[in-house]
Amino acid sequence: GAGVSQSPRYKVAKRGQDVALRCDPISGHVSLFWYQQALGQGPEFLTYFQNEAQLDKSGLPSDRFFAERPEGSVSTLKIQRTQQEDSAVYLCASSVSSEQFFGPGTRLTVL
Amino acid sequence: AQSVTQLDSQVPVFEEAPVELRCNYSSSVSVYLFWYVQYPNQGLQLLLKYLSGSTLVKGINGFEAEFNKSQTSFHLRKPSVHISDTAEYFCAVSSYGGATNKLIFGTGTLLAVQP
């Protein structure tokens, strides 16, 4: 079956632009996670959804970062007024148990 | 708070040789433990996981890991590596029974298999 998909795979933004990153989880997966992976680092937790409820957003680095999952399936991570330090790979994962299934990520480059 | 330490940023090894990638963790609560592999420009793929029970866990592609509670370690091993095993390997933990099961990752170890 289909895995987790993310779009776009690559995004180049000028500093100050807003971006929106999409995640399509595996069908039926209740839990959805967003992680940020800086170059040469391990992924770091951003936020967690259970169905449409955002239960944990403790990892969001600033109020410029916003995530939503309005119908409990597709999720969007939005970054407003992008800064160079936002350059990273953004990974989405979904799960129904202890195992998280990861998408290929979106590589965001802010110039 | 939890943390994961992968002391080796890069491990060079010759093809068909054995390898061990080290992982130590810190946590005040019981944890689940995971090893993920990441190939270039791809997402993370689960190699194996420890939830409970036997401390020796076998995973895909011939990898295995042993949970050692007293040493708070979860080292990854393979008796004979292949060129295709070249990738970045991440150790991760999550809280047992935690509200979110979010993963805390180490900084990764690059396994570089040479012919």
pLDDT of A11-42, one tens digit each? 999 999 999 999 999 999 999 999 999 998 99
Question: Between chains, do A56 and B44 touch, taking CB under 8 Å as contact?
Answer: no
Question: How confident is chain B (115 residues) per 10-residue block, as mean pLDDT?
Answer: 92 97 92 93 91 92 94 96 96 80 94 96
- Locate A53 and state its tokens: 């409820």
Task: Tokens 């992680």: give the residue.
Answer: A35
Report the residue from B41, B99, B103 with minimal CB separation from A100: B103
Report the residue from A42, A102, A105 with minimal CB separation from B108: A42
- Return d(Cα A66, Cα B34) in angstroms, integer: 28
Task: Tokens 């239960």: give the residue.
Answer: A55
- Return d(Cα B93, Cα B28) in angstroms, integer: 12
pLDDT value at position B113?
A: 97
Question: Between chains, do A56 and B104 touch, taking CB under 8 Å as contact?
Answer: no
Instruction: Judge contact between B110 and B27, C-beta under 8 A.
Output: no
Between the alpha carbon of residue B107 and those of residues B15, B37, B61, B91, B97, the distances in Å are 24, 12, 22, 8, 24
Question: Between chains, do A104 and B42 touch, taking CB under 8 Å as contact?
Answer: yes
Decide if B110 touches A, using CB distance below 8 A.
Answer: no
Pairing of strands A10-13, A106-110: parallel
Instruction: Judge contact between A37 and A102, C-beta under 8 A.
Output: no
- Return d(Cα A64, Cα A19) in angstroms, integer: 11
pLDDT value at position B84?
A: 95
Q: Which of B4, B12, B10 has its CA nearest to residue B91?
A: B4
Residue in A45, A46, A54 to test binding to B, most B beta-carbons within 10 Å: A45
Instruction: Judge contact between A13 and A101, C-beta under 8 A.
Output: no
Question: Between chains, do A33 and B102 touch, taking CB under 8 Å as contact?
Answer: yes
Question: Between chains, do B43 and A91 touch, taking CB under 8 Å as contact?
Answer: yes
Residues of B with CB below 8 A from A56's CB?
99-100, 102
Report the residue from A40, A98, A104 with minimal CB separation from B43: A104
The reply to whether omega before A8 is within 30° of 0 (cis) is yes
pLDDT value at position B93?
A: 94
Q: How many other C-beta atoms lie within 10 A of the C-beta of residue A61?
A: 13
pLDDT of A83-100, one tens digit each? 999 999 999 999 988 889
